Amino acid sequence: MNELETHESFELWDLRVEAVVPPGAKIYCGARAGDYFELKGEILTLPPGQGVSIYSLAAVLPLLAAKQRPTHPNDWMTTDAEIACPDPNCQSRLRIVRTGLTRFRRSETTAVPLATRRAE
């Protein structure tokens, strides 16, 4: 990797968001054990023929960008990974799993230039 690529690059965690469904529980959001979606950068993908409740997605969506970033080991964002279904009568959860790192180049993700630092 050359100096420009090192200067321009950053890493984000790839995420897999899995449905956690207690055996025998009545589920109201449509989640099934084994359901999941993946997030790599800003691209969310679902396996063919599988869906996700927009309400469950709305519950987990605000946390995904934060889970993609590196975090301190003591930060709760590093360890806490399960989000309850937004329906209080539904026992399902969504588990966010960091699966690997992907390197991105700033120039390929934004048109906004980096501010140059002034000597202090």
Q: Residue written as tokens 């993609």?
A: 68
- Predicted local confidence at residue 113, as pLDDT: 82
Residue 31: exposure state from Cβ atoms within 10 A (0-12, 13-18, ≥19): buried
Residues 6+ away with beta carbon under 8 Å from 47: 36, 37
Q: Which helix (H) or strand (E) holds 115?
A: none
CA 19, CA 21: separation in Å to the nearest integer?
6
Section 12-30 average pLDDT: 95
> Using 50, 70 and 90 to split pLDDT, how confident is the model at 107?
confident
For 110-119, letters b (16+ CB in 10 Å) and e give eeeeeeeeee
- Using only C-alpha atoms, the chain has a radius of gyration, in whole angstroms, of 18
pLDDT in tens, 46-91: 999 999 999 999 999 999 999 999 999 999 999 999 999 999 999 9
> pTM of the full predicted structure?
0.85
